[in-house]
Amino acid sequence: MVPPSWVLVAGSIDSWLADVNRLEARSTGLAEPLADLHFRLEQIHPFLDGNGRAGRLLLNLILVRLGYPPAIIYKRQRAEYLRALRRADLGDCGSLGELVARAILDNLYKFIVPAIAGPVRLVPLAALATDEISANALRVAAGRGRLQATRGADGEWRSSRAWVEEYARSRYRRDPGE
């Protein structure tokens, strides 16, 4: 990628900001315009260093300003993120939009839904995953009947924080000293 000449950066940023301010908070196709804006800022490359971090920070500022949770893109997603940026460079922001949308949804499930659900309300298993027990492990436990959970008509397993804590206490743990 070759950034624009420094004389074009200020005008490009002004244009970018105008487009940011035109975003509608509750538009149905928000992920792709967000991805496009994020990509365009990366193309402008306004800083000598830290453009990726600054771009992701600004993406989250825009999201929060629009009433959405931040989109955390983890280090393990770096290759997927860079592939999506390369596809955006070819004119297809769909992959980047999907990555952003999934990051927003993951944060909803990981932080917001459990916080407002309380300990006994049924929520999707993805919202109950922790660093110790992944969503996939919870699905397996629910499927085997080891985790108290219900499967909805949509095929998605739901459980409560209290049930997951009970399951976590009952799990076989090998003593590291053995």
Question: For the chain, which residues make up each domain, given as ranges?
Answer: 6-112, 118-170
Tell how strand 157-159 and strand 123-124 pair up.
Answer: antiparallel
For residue 63, give every residue at least 6 positions away whose Cβ sits within 8 Å of its Cβ, in sequence order, or none. Answer: 34, 69, 70, 71, 104
Distance CA 69, CA 156 (A): 23
Residue 56 confidence (pLDDT): 95
Angle subtended at Cα 30 by Cα 56 and Cα 2, rounded to the nearest 5 degrees: 45
Which of the residues 13, 45, 52, 113 is marked catalytic?
45
Output the CATH code of domain 6-112. 1.10.3290.10
For 157, the enclosing helix (H) or strand (E) is: strand 157-159
What would the pLDDT profile of 141-177 be if each residue is shown by its tens digit? 999 999 999 998 878 899 998 999 999 998 866 555 5
How much is the mean pLDDT over the chain? 89
Is 38 a residue of the active site? no
pLDDT category, 130, cuts 50, 70, 90?
A: confident
